[in-house]
Chains A and B, each alone.
Chain A
Amino acid sequence: MSHVSVNTALVRSESPSVQRVMLQVLVALLPGIVALYWLTGPGVLLNVVFACFFAVILECMVLVVRKKSLHGEGTDLSIVVAASLLALSVPPTLPFMHLLFGVLVLVLLGKHVFGGLGQNPFNPAMVAYAALFISFPQSMTLWFNPTELTSVSLLDTLKFKTEVVGQTLSHYPAWDAITKATPLEHLRTLKLNQETISVELANHTVSQAPWIIVSACFFIGGVYLLWRKVIQWQIPVTVIASFAIVSLVWATFGTNSIPNIGYSLFSGALIFGAFFIATDPVTAASSTAGRIVYGTGIGLLAFIIRYFGGYPDGFAFAVLLMNLCVPTIDYAVLKLSQP
C-alpha cells in the first residue's frame, strides 16, 4: 500500500458513519411499527425484539468464529436493521421457532456465507423472508383478524407464538376465528374461485383502511430517509411509479380482475418495500441510471408476481430477482455512459 493518506478530518465537519446511517433507518421505521402495533397487536413488537436480540447474538458468534473484530462489524447496527426489516415483514402470529429459523438464515445464508456486511448479493432480510415463506407457508400467510383484535392480549399472543410450536395450526380451531389470511391472499383466493370480485373489492376497500394507514406510516418513514439523504429518490419513486403505471394500464384496458390503483399501492409490502427493502445500498444498483432500471424492474416484477404468479405478494421475490441483475445493470450503465 502506498503512504498517501487522505486527512479526512481536515475537510469534513461531521463524519458520516455506518452506525449513523443505520440509526436513521431504525428511526424511520418507528411510525410503521407503531401503526402495525395498533393494527395487529403486540405480536409485531415481540417479533422485532426477538429477531434483533437473536440476530445480534448470532452475529457476534459468527464474528468470533470468523476471527473478526466485534468493534467493526458487530457495532454498526446493520444486523439490527436487517433483523427489524425481517420482523416487520413476517406476520405477528409467527411462532418464535419459525422466526428463529428466519434469523438464522438471515445471518448465516443471507450475510456471512458471502463474506459479511457489504459482500452479500441478495438482501439478507428478503432471503430470510423467502426461506420462511417457502418453509412455513401456513404460519407465514396467517394474520390476526383486525376486527377480533380487542380480544387478543399480550399473553394470548405469547401463548400462540410459543405453544403452536410442535402442532399443526389446524389443531387450534379456536384460533381460526381470530386469524385470517392477508388481504392479498384473500384476493387471490377469490380470483381462483372464479367468483366476481368487484363486489368483494368494494367491500374490501373499506376493510383496507387500516392497512392504508400502516402503509402511510411507512411512507412517512421513507420520506424522512429521503430528507436525511440516507436513501436516494430513484429507487422508491421508480418502484412505486412503475407498479402504479402498469396497474393503471391493466385496470383500464385489461380484465376486471385487478383492483384499482389505490388498493394496489397501499396493500401488501409495496410501500414498505419500496422505501426500506429495495433501497438497501449493498444489494441495489450503484449509478443513478442503474437505480432507475433496478427500481423499475422491481415494480414490474412485483406486479407480475402479485397478479399472475403463484404467490399473493411477490415483493420479496421481485427484489431477489432484481438483486441478481444488479451486476449486469451496473456494468451496462458504466459501458453506456462512458465515451
Chain B
Amino acid sequence: MSKLLKKIERVVFNRGNNEAPFKFHGGLELAPNKLGLDKSIQTIPLPNELVIPLLNYHKQLLEPVVSIGDHVQKGQWLAHNLPCPANGTVRCLEEREVMQAQPLLTQCIVIDVIVSSKTAIPSGTSPTNNCNTISGYNDNDNSTNNLWLETLQQHGLTGLGGAAFPTAAKLQTWVNANNANTKKAVNTSQLATLIINAAECEPSIACDEALMQAHADEIVKGIELLKNRVQCERCVIAIEDSKPRAIAKIKLALEKQLTTTKTDTPIELLTIPTRYPSGAESVLIKIVTGQSIPKSKLPIDFGVVCLNVGTAYAVWQSYQGEPLTSRIISLTGPAMPNPCNVRVSFGTSIEHVLKSTGNESALKNYTIRAGGPLTGFPVRNMQLPVSSKTNCISAHTSNASATVAQPCIRCNACVDVCPEYLLPQQLHWHISAANWQQSRAQNLFDCIECGCCDVVCPSNIELSNYFRYAKAQLLELDWQEEQAKIAQIRYENRNKRLERLKAEREKEIAFRKSKLATKPAQGENNIADAIARAKARQRNKKKS
C-alpha cells in the first residue's frame, strides 16, 4: 500500500529534478523573522573561563587526557577527539550544568583562558599535523580517505544542525565504498546523494544564512571536497527561497568553482519553498529525493547523506588545519536589544555572549531561550556554556506558552501539519493514559519533535512535550527490560555454574566414597593376613 502511494505520488507529482523539489506532508508556513543579517559576523572576545563538558554524542563520559594545572593549547585534545577551544590552564574538573532541555549535571573541564599571542605548541597529541599529508582533491585512495576521516574526528567535527552527530561516523561507511551500489545498503533506485542542508532549521534562527553570506566560497570548497571524497552520484545544496542574498552568493561561488575545476557531477543548487520544518534531516531528504526514511533505518541505508552547511564549512576549515572549536550563533528575539550573528567559542557562557554583544540588558529583564521558537527551551542559568548544538539565543518579553491547556477536541489540525504522517492527537491520547507501548506502535519514535502540532493546536496542548516525555519513558522501560534480561542471563549462568560445581562435588564425593569402600576391604584383608601371619608364626613357633 505504501509503495503504491509512493508510486502514485511519483507519477502525479513527478518532481525531484533540481528545478522543482518534492512536496512533503504537513509543515507550516511561518514568518522567517530573521534579524541581524545586515551586520557582518563578529567573533566575540574569549571569556575568562571556558566550560567544556566531557560528554560525547552517545552521552558517554569521556576520560580527560589533561590534568589540573596543565597548560593547554588551542586545538590540543582535552579528551579523546575533544579539541580545546583556546589557550589556557586547566583550572579544575567539576560537575557543571550543561545546556540541555532537561537540566543535567555532568563532568566538565574548566579552563582559565590565557589571552596571549603565540605560545609554543607543547608536545603531546596534536592532531593538526595529519592534514598536511592530505594532498589535492582528486587523490582518492583509501589510505588518504581514512587519514582524512581521522582528521575530521580529531578536529572534533560534529554536525552543526542541532543534533551534533559526529561527522566522521556519518561519512565512514560511505567514503570507503568504491562503487555506487555498495553505498546503498537497501536496494533502492535512489542515486547516492550528498545533501547539504542550507535550509535554516527554524524561523528566527539566521546562523546558516549569515554564514553563507559571509563564507560562500569556503562553503563551496568544503562541499567540493566532501563530494570528491565520498564519490557521490549527486550533490545538492538546498536553500530556502526566503534567502535570496545567500542564494546569490552561493550561486556566484558555484560558478567560480566550475571555472576552476572540471567535474561530472556539478553541485546542484536547489531552491526549496520556505516551509517549516524543511530543515529537518528526514524532511529535507524527502524534499530533495522523494524518499521517506523510516525511523528504523538511517538515511545512509537509502544512499543519502545529509550535512549541515555549517558542517561543510567546518570540513573546509578542518582541511585548512583548523579544528572545530567555535560556531556561529544567532542572537535574536523580539526583546534582544542588538540582534546579530556572532562567532562564539565552545564553552563560553551565555552571560558572556550577551554582555560582549551589547545585549546585557536582555539578561535582567527578559526570558532567555536557547534554540528557536519551536524546538528551543527556556534557560534560567546564564552560566550555561555554548556547545556545537547551540544555534540561537533569543530574548522574549514573557513566556507566552503559559496559556492553560484545554482538552483535545481531536480537530486533526495536528494531523494535517505533521511531516511524519503521525496522528499526534492519538499519540497524546495514549500517552495521557500512560499507554507507552501503544504509542510506540503508533510510531512515536518517528516524531522529529518539530513542534508544528503545538503551533496549530487550538487547545494549547504542548504535544511535542508529551512525545519527548513518552520517548524518555519508553527508553527507560527498554533499559529496564534489557537489565532484567541481563540479570536473567546472569542468574541462569550462575545456576548452571552452581549445578556444575555441585555435580563436580558429588562426583568427587562419589569418587572418595568408592575409594573408601574399597579401602576397608583391603583393611580387612590386611587384618586377616596379619592374623594368618601371626597364627602361622605361632604355629611355626609351636612346631619349632
Q: Do chains A and B touch in the complex (CB under 8 A)?
A: yes
Taken together as a complex, chains A and B put the C-alpha atoms of A117 and B334 apart, in Å, by 36
Tell me if B366 is interfacial: C-beta within 8 Å of chain A.
no
Which residues of chain B have C-beta atoms less than 8 A from A249's C-beta?
A: none
Taken together as a complex, chains A and B put the C-alpha atoms of A282 and B429 apart, in Å, by 12
Tell me if A185 is interfacial: C-beta within 8 Å of chain B.
no
Nearest chain B CB to A107's CB is how many angstroms away? 15
Q: Known: A5-B465, A8-B401, A10-B373. Is A78-B102 also a contact (CB below 8 A)?
A: no
Do B464 and A10 have beta carbons less than 8 Å apart?
no
Tell me if B15 is interfacial: C-beta within 8 Å of chain A.
no
Do B378 and A73 have beta carbons less than 8 Å apart?
no
Partner of B455, one of A11, A71, A334, A339: A11
Tell me if A174 is interfacial: C-beta within 8 Å of chain B.
no
Do B469 and A2 have beta carbons less than 8 Å apart?
yes
Tell me if A338 is interfacial: C-beta within 8 Å of chain B.
yes
State the main secondary structure of chain A at its contact with B.
loop
Interface string of A1-12 (1 = CB under 8 A from B): 111111111111
Taken together as a complex, chains A and B put the C-alpha atoms of A286 and B30 apart, in Å, by 24
Which residues of chain A have C-beta atoms less than 8 A from B299's C-beta?
A: none
Which residues of chain B have C-beta atoms less than 8 A from A2's C-beta?
A: 101-102, 377, 465, 468-469, 472
Tell me if A232 is interfacial: C-beta within 8 Å of chain B.
yes
Which residues of chain A have C-beta atoms less than 8 A from B408's C-beta?
A: 118
Which residues of chain A have C-beta atoms less than 8 A from B409's C-beta?
A: 18, 21, 78, 117-118, 281-282
Do A232 and B412 have beta carbons less than 8 Å apart?
yes
Tell me if B400 is interfacial: C-beta within 8 Å of chain A.
yes
Do A3 and B421 have beta carbons less than 8 Å apart?
no
Do B415 and A286 have beta carbons less than 8 Å apart?
yes
Residues of B in contact with A, size category: 35 or more
Which residues of chain A have C-beta atoms less than 8 A from B376's C-beta?
A: 4, 7
Do A334 and B30 have beta carbons less than 8 Å apart?
no
Taken together as a complex, chains A and B put the C-alpha atoms of A119 and B429 apart, in Å, by 9
Tell me if B273 is interfacial: C-beta within 8 Å of chain A.
no
Do B401 and A6 have beta carbons less than 8 Å apart?
yes
Interface string of A307-338 (1 = CB under 8 A from B): 00000000000000000000000100010111
Which residues of chain A have C-beta atoms less than 8 A from B31's C-beta?
A: 11, 13
Q: Known: A16-B458, A330-B426. Is A6-B442 also a contact (CB below 8 A)?
A: no
Taken together as a complex, chains A and B put the C-alpha atoms of A3 and B377 apart, in Å, by 6
Which residues of chain B have C-beta atoms less than 8 A from A69's C-beta?
A: 404
Tell me if B146 is interfacial: C-beta within 8 Å of chain A.
no
Do A3 and B410 have beta carbons less than 8 Å apart?
no
Nearest chain B CB to A275's CB is how many angstroms away? 16
Q: Known: A2-B101, A330-B426. Is A9-B401 also a contact (CB below 8 A)?
A: yes
Do B400 and A9 have beta carbons less than 8 Å apart?
yes
Tell me if A287 is interfacial: C-beta within 8 Å of chain B.
yes
Which residues of chain B have C-beta atoms less than 8 A from A8's C-beta?
A: 373, 400-401, 454-455, 460
Partner of A7, one of B400, B410, B426, B449: B400
Nearest chain B CB to A190's CB is how many angstroms away? 41
Q: Known: A6-B373, A12-B455. Is A1-B406 also a contact (CB below 8 A)?
A: no
Tell me if A168 is interfacial: C-beta within 8 Å of chain B.
no
B30 nearest in chain A by CB position: A11
Interface string of B308-346 (1 = CB under 8 A from A): 000000000000000000000000011000000000000
Partner of A116, one of B28, B407, B413, B464: B407
Q: Known: A2-B102, A7-B369, A11-B374. Is A336-B2 also a contact (CB below 8 A)?
A: yes
Partner of B404, one of A16, A72, A119: A72
Taken together as a complex, chains A and B put the C-alpha atoms of A334 and B401 apart, in Å, by 30
Among A6, A9, A18, A21, the most chain B Cβ lie within 10 Å of the Cβ of A6
Taken together as a complex, chains A and B put the C-alpha atoms of A11 and B376 apart, in Å, by 13
Do B421 and A4 have beta carbons less than 8 Å apart?
no
Tell me if B423 is interfacial: C-beta within 8 Å of chain A.
yes
Q: Known: A6-B401, A339-B292. Is A11-B373 also a contact (CB below 8 A)?
A: yes
Interface string of A137-178 (1 = CB under 8 A from B): 000000000000000000000000000000000000000000
Among A5, A282, A286, the most chain B Cβ lie within 10 Å of the Cβ of A5
Tell me if B1 is interfacial: C-beta within 8 Å of chain A.
yes
Q: Known: A8-B455, A72-B407. Is A287-B464 also a contact (CB below 8 A)?
A: no
Among B204, B411, B443, B469, the most chain A Cβ lie within 10 Å of the Cβ of B411
Nearest chain B CB to A21's CB is how many angstroms away? 6
B411 nearest in chain A by CB position: A281
Tell me if B203 is interfacial: C-beta within 8 Å of chain A.
yes
B443 nearest in chain A by CB position: A338
List CB contacts (< 8 Å) of A11-35 with chain B: 11-13, 15-18, 20-21
Do B406 and A286 have beta carbons less than 8 Å apart?
no
Instruction: Tell me the count of chain A residues lying within 8 A, CB to CB, of chain B.
Output: 42
Among B373, B425, B456, the most chain A Cβ lie within 10 Å of the Cβ of B373
Interface string of B93-136 (1 = CB under 8 A from A): 00000000111000000000000000000000000000000000
Interface string of B386-423 (1 = CB under 8 A from A): 00000000001001110010111111110100000101
Tell me if B358 is interfacial: C-beta within 8 Å of chain A.
no
Tell me if B18 is interfacial: C-beta within 8 Å of chain A.
no
Tell me if B517 is interfacial: C-beta within 8 Å of chain A.
no
Which residues of chain A have C-beta atoms less than 8 A from B303's C-beta?
A: none
Do B407 and A118 have beta carbons less than 8 Å apart?
yes
Nearest chain A CB to B341's CB is how many angstroms away? 18
Q: Known: A4-B465, A6-B374, A286-B425. Is A16-B456 also a contact (CB below 8 A)?
A: yes
Taken together as a complex, chains A and B put the C-alpha atoms of A102 and B115 apart, in Å, by 80
Which residues of chain A have C-beta atoms less than 8 A from B413's C-beta?
A: 16
A12 nearest in chain B by CB position: B455
A326 nearest in chain B by CB position: B410
Which residues of chain B have C-beta atoms less than 8 A from A330's C-beta?
A: 423, 426
Do A4 and B404 have beta carbons less than 8 Å apart?
no
Which residues of chain B have C-beta atoms less than 8 A from A7's C-beta?
A: 369, 373-374, 376, 396, 399-401
Which residues of chain A have C-beta atoms less than 8 A from B401's C-beta?
A: 5-9
Which residues of chain A have C-beta atoms less than 8 A from B102's C-beta?
A: 2-3
Partner of A6, one of B396, B407, B426, B464: B464
Do B406 and A4 have beta carbons less than 8 Å apart?
no
Taken together as a complex, chains A and B put the C-alpha atoms of A308 and B459 apart, in Å, by 42
Do A71 and B458 have beta carbons less than 8 Å apart?
no
Q: Known: A5-B377, A337-B5. Is A286-B204 also a contact (CB below 8 A)?
A: no
Nearest chain B CB to A280's CB is how many angstroms away? 9
Question: What are 9 sample pairs from A and B whose C-beta atoms fall under 8 A apart?
Answer: A3-B377, A5-B401, A7-B373, A7-B401, A8-B401, A10-B204, A17-B458, A72-B407, A232-B412
Q: A6-B374, A118-B409 are in contact. List 11 more A-B contacts (CB 8 A).
A: A7-B369, A7-B401, A8-B401, A8-B454, A13-B31, A15-B460, A16-B458, A286-B415, A286-B426, A330-B423, A337-B1
**Chain A to chain B: the 10 pairs with minimum beta-carbon distance, closest first:** A9-B400, A10-B373, A6-B454, A118-B407, A16-B458, A117-B407, A4-B101, A336-B1, A6-B451, A118-B408
Q: Which residues of B contact A (CB under 8 A)?
A: 1-3, 5, 28, 30-31, 33, 101-103, 203-204, 292, 294, 333-334, 369, 373-378, 396, 399-401, 404, 406-413, 415, 421, 423, 425-426, 442-443, 446, 449, 451, 454-460, 462, 464-465, 468-469, 472
